[in-house]
Amino acid sequence: MTVAATSPSPLSTTPLIELDRACVIRGQVRVLHELSLRIAQGQHTALLGPNGCGKSSFIKLITRELYPLAHGDGTVAVRVLGQNRWQVDRLRSQLGIVTGDLSSSLADMPGLTVEEAVLSGFFASFVVPAFREITEDMRARVRETLTMTAALPLLQRRYAELSAGETRRVLIARALVNRPQALLLDEPSTGLDLVARQHLIATMRTLAAQGITLVLVTHHIEEVIPEIERVVLLRAGRIVADGSRAALLRDAPLSEVFGGPIQVVEQDGRLSAFAG
């Protein structure tokens, strides 16, 4: 199924993410097959698909936790902000990352406070390095981003003691401390209750309105806020459709990609999906 993609916002001529026939093998299994995709800066995009479709491999490919197979013709399979060679700390200062794996790693740090967890975002580490100076400007930026995500009251709490909804707000604040051009959000509402999910959606809409490009990787269409106008559907490590939310967040395309009947319901501008 092929649908014309929506036009990107012309904020920059350098694409945020470019994949050119990217293939990834994990163990003995090919998890991404010839993936070609271009996401422009300013183009809020959702990658949607069932479990096992390759979403987590896509994220690890962008964050350089996985590497694509080399092309025989010498072309580059993955570029982020126009570059194919990145230092991880520099990448994460330009592209904020919010993942469940990161949350688990921070929760494992003994005694880590919320303030320290967000400060560690300046250094792309799980703790603040002992030899690095923490300036008052950094602390002010931490308070600023926690305020943006309605998490400032958590400042002195232990990160490991937070609820799932609280950790998401803190992780987004951490991703924002470097003033990145974009956020890559991996299944951000996993484990959240209804109220926490609504807080998350409100935060995402605020960030989108502030000009931060959102790349959302999910299997919940409820997370695809109205500002996200482009949707890419994944199945079995392949792109099966790429187009507008109006064209793809519908019964037929979603039933095809999820392999069973899906009904989409819209109420007051919000989308929900039901199986069967």
Q: What is the mean pLDDT of residues 90-111?
A: 84
Contact 18, 38 (CB under 8 A): yes
Q: What is the mean pLDDT of residues 40-69?
A: 90
- The predicted pLDDT at position 189 comes to 87
Task: Pick from 54-58, 140-144, 262-266 the range whose average pLDDT is largest.
Answer: 140-144
**Residue 12 corresponds to which amino acid?**
S
Has residue 105 got a pLDDT over 60? Answer: yes
Has residue 96 got a pLDDT over 60? Answer: yes
More confident site: 204 or 190:
204
- The predicted pLDDT at position 243 comes to 96
Residues of each domain in the chain carrying CATH 3.40.50.300: 1-81+184-192+204-276
Looking up tokens 């399979």 gives: 77
Predicted model pTM: 0.88
Which architecture does CATH list for 1-81+184-192+204-276?
A: 3-Layer(aba) Sandwich (3.40)
249: which residues sit within 8 A by CB, 6+ positions away? 221, 224, 231, 264, 271
pLDDT band at residue 131 under the 50/70/90 scheme: confident
Q: What are phi and psi of 155, to 5 degrees?
A: -45, -45
